[in-house]
Amino acid sequence: MSTTSTMICTRCNKASGDVDKCSTCGTRLSTLKSQQRRGWTALGAGAFLVVFMSAVWIWVDRLLIGGDYQRDATTASFTGKINVAFALVVVAGVFGVINGRLMVQSGRRNRVLLFGLVIAFVSALFVACSASNMYHGS
Ligand SMILES: [Zn+2]
Protein backbone atom coordinates (compact mmCIF):
# COMPACT_ATOMS: atom_id res chain seq x y z
CA MET A 1 0.00 0.00 0.00
CA SER A 2 1.55 3.28 -1.08
CA THR A 3 0.60 6.21 1.11
CA THR A 4 3.48 8.56 0.21
CA SER A 5 1.45 10.44 -2.40
CA THR A 6 -1.67 10.93 -0.26
CA MET A 7 -2.41 14.61 0.23
CA ILE A 8 -4.44 16.10 3.07
CA CYS A 9 -6.27 19.40 3.14
CA THR A 10 -5.80 20.73 6.68
CA ARG A 11 -8.64 23.23 6.20
CA CYS A 12 -11.30 20.80 4.95
CA ASN A 13 -9.68 18.21 7.21
CA LYS A 14 -9.90 15.41 4.67
CA ALA A 15 -7.82 13.46 2.21
CA SER A 16 -7.65 15.00 -1.24
CA GLY A 17 -7.05 13.58 -4.68
CA ASP A 18 -5.55 16.89 -5.84
CA VAL A 19 -1.81 17.36 -6.24
CA ASP A 20 -0.94 20.84 -5.04
CA LYS A 21 -3.96 22.84 -3.91
CA CYS A 22 -7.35 21.77 -2.58
CA SER A 23 -10.01 22.07 -5.27
CA THR A 24 -12.65 22.84 -2.62
CA CYS A 25 -11.03 25.67 -0.65
CA GLY A 26 -7.76 26.46 -2.45
CA THR A 27 -5.54 25.73 0.56
CA ARG A 28 -2.11 24.25 -0.12
CA LEU A 29 -2.23 20.54 0.63
CA SER A 30 -0.02 18.81 3.16
CA THR A 31 1.37 15.35 2.63
CA LEU A 32 0.07 12.55 4.80
CA LYS A 33 3.63 12.13 6.10
CA SER A 34 3.94 15.68 7.34
CA GLN A 35 0.51 15.40 9.01
CA GLN A 36 1.63 12.16 10.63
CA ARG A 37 4.75 13.91 11.93
CA ARG A 38 2.49 16.55 13.49
CA GLY A 39 0.41 13.72 14.91
CA TRP A 40 3.47 12.28 16.67
CA THR A 41 4.31 15.74 18.02
CA ALA A 42 0.76 16.16 19.35
CA LEU A 43 0.89 12.67 20.84
CA GLY A 44 4.24 13.40 22.53
CA ALA A 45 3.06 16.76 23.86
CA GLY A 46 -0.13 15.18 25.23
CA ALA A 47 1.77 12.31 26.84
CA PHE A 48 4.24 14.77 28.39
CA LEU A 49 1.35 16.85 29.76
CA VAL A 50 -0.29 13.78 31.32
CA VAL A 51 2.94 12.49 32.92
CA PHE A 52 4.19 15.91 34.04
CA MET A 53 0.87 17.11 35.47
CA SER A 54 0.25 13.78 37.23
CA ALA A 55 3.67 14.07 38.88
CA VAL A 56 3.02 17.67 39.99
CA TRP A 57 -0.48 16.69 41.12
CA ILE A 58 0.83 13.88 43.36
CA TRP A 59 3.54 16.19 44.67
CA VAL A 60 1.08 19.01 45.50
CA ASP A 61 -1.38 16.58 47.10
CA ARG A 62 1.33 15.15 49.33
CA LEU A 63 2.46 18.64 50.24
CA LEU A 64 -1.08 19.69 51.20
CA ILE A 65 -1.97 16.47 52.99
CA GLY A 66 1.41 16.47 54.78
CA GLY A 67 0.73 19.77 56.56
CA ASP A 68 -2.03 20.54 58.99
CA TYR A 69 -3.80 22.64 56.39
CA GLN A 70 -6.85 20.41 56.27
CA ARG A 71 -8.29 21.89 59.44
CA ASP A 72 -8.78 25.12 57.55
CA ALA A 73 -12.04 24.99 55.58
CA THR A 74 -10.79 27.51 52.98
CA THR A 75 -7.69 25.44 52.26
CA ALA A 76 -9.72 22.23 52.08
CA SER A 77 -11.93 23.88 49.47
CA PHE A 78 -8.82 25.25 47.72
CA THR A 79 -7.31 21.76 47.62
CA GLY A 80 -10.56 20.44 46.13
CA LYS A 81 -10.52 23.04 43.36
CA ILE A 82 -6.83 22.47 42.62
CA ASN A 83 -7.55 18.74 42.30
CA VAL A 84 -10.29 19.50 39.77
CA ALA A 85 -7.92 21.80 37.84
CA PHE A 86 -5.21 19.11 37.72
CA ALA A 87 -7.75 16.48 36.64
CA LEU A 88 -8.94 18.73 33.80
CA VAL A 89 -5.38 19.34 32.56
CA VAL A 90 -4.72 15.57 32.62
CA VAL A 91 -7.97 15.05 30.65
CA ALA A 92 -6.80 17.69 28.13
CA GLY A 93 -3.52 15.78 27.83
CA VAL A 94 -5.37 12.51 27.23
CA PHE A 95 -7.44 14.19 24.50
CA GLY A 96 -4.16 15.40 22.97
CA VAL A 97 -2.74 11.86 23.00
CA ILE A 98 -5.87 10.39 21.34
CA ASN A 99 -5.98 13.19 18.77
CA GLY A 100 -2.27 12.67 17.99
CA ARG A 101 -2.80 8.92 17.65
CA LEU A 102 -5.70 9.47 15.19
CA MET A 103 -3.60 11.99 13.25
CA VAL A 104 -0.77 9.47 12.92
CA GLN A 105 -3.28 6.93 11.59
CA SER A 106 -5.32 9.05 9.20
CA GLY A 107 -3.54 12.41 8.93
CA ARG A 108 -6.71 14.13 10.02
CA ARG A 109 -7.46 16.07 13.16
CA ASN A 110 -10.47 15.15 15.22
CA ARG A 111 -12.37 18.39 15.78
CA VAL A 112 -14.50 16.99 18.60
CA LEU A 113 -11.37 15.91 20.49
CA LEU A 114 -9.65 19.25 19.89
CA PHE A 115 -12.76 21.06 21.08
CA GLY A 116 -12.83 18.88 24.22
CA LEU A 117 -9.12 19.55 24.75
CA VAL A 118 -9.56 23.33 24.61
CA ILE A 119 -12.65 23.24 26.86
CA ALA A 120 -10.86 21.05 29.44
CA PHE A 121 -7.78 23.29 29.39
CA VAL A 122 -9.72 26.57 29.68
CA SER A 123 -11.86 25.10 32.49
CA ALA A 124 -8.67 24.04 34.29
CA LEU A 125 -7.27 27.59 34.07
CA PHE A 126 -10.60 29.01 35.22
CA VAL A 127 -10.82 26.65 38.22
CA ALA A 128 -7.16 27.28 39.15
CA CYS A 129 -7.71 31.05 38.99
CA SER A 130 -10.85 30.95 41.12
CA ALA A 131 -9.05 28.69 43.62
CA SER A 132 -6.10 31.07 43.92
CA ASN A 133 -8.38 34.14 44.19
CA MET A 134 -10.34 32.48 46.95
CA TYR A 135 -7.20 31.56 48.85
CA HIS A 136 -5.52 34.95 48.67
CA GLY A 137 -8.74 36.84 49.18
CA SER A 138 -9.48 35.38 52.60
ZN1 LIG B 1 -9.76 22.16 1.36
Q: Give per-residue pLDDT as tens, 105-122.
A: 999 989 999 999 999 999
> In this structure, are residues 91 and 120 in contact, taking their beta carbons and an 8 Å threshold?
yes
3 state SS of 13: coil
- List CB-based neighbours of ion ligand 1 within 5 Å: 9, 11-12, 22, 24-25, 27
Contacts of 112 (CB under 8 A, 6+ apart): none
Can you tell me the distance from the alpha carbon of 133 to that of 130, in angstroms, rounded to the nearest whole number? 5
What spacing in Å lies between the alpha carbon of 51 and ligand 1's midpoint? 35
Tell me the pTM.
0.82
> In this structure, are residues 94 and 113 in contact, taking their beta carbons and an 8 Å threshold?
no
What spacing in Å lies between the alpha carbon of 15 and ligand 1's midpoint? 9
What spacing in Å lies between the alpha carbon of 33 and ligand 1's midpoint? 17
Q: Give per-residue pLDDT as tens, 54-64.
A: 999 999 888 87
49, 54, 60, 64: CA torsion to nearest 10:
150
Q: Give per-residue pLDDT as tens, 26-37.
A: 999 999 999 999
Is 78 exposed, middle or buried, given 0-12, 13-18 or 19+ CB atoms closer than 10 A? buried
Segment among 6-20, 32-46, 66-80, 117-131 with least mean pLDDT: 66-80
What spacing in Å lies between the alpha carbon of 118 and ligand 1's midpoint? 23
The answer on pLDDT for 66 being more than 90 is: no
Can you tell me the distance from the alpha carbon of 48 to that of 119, in angstroms, rounded to the nearest whole number? 19
Distance spanning both ends of the chain, measured CA to CA: 64
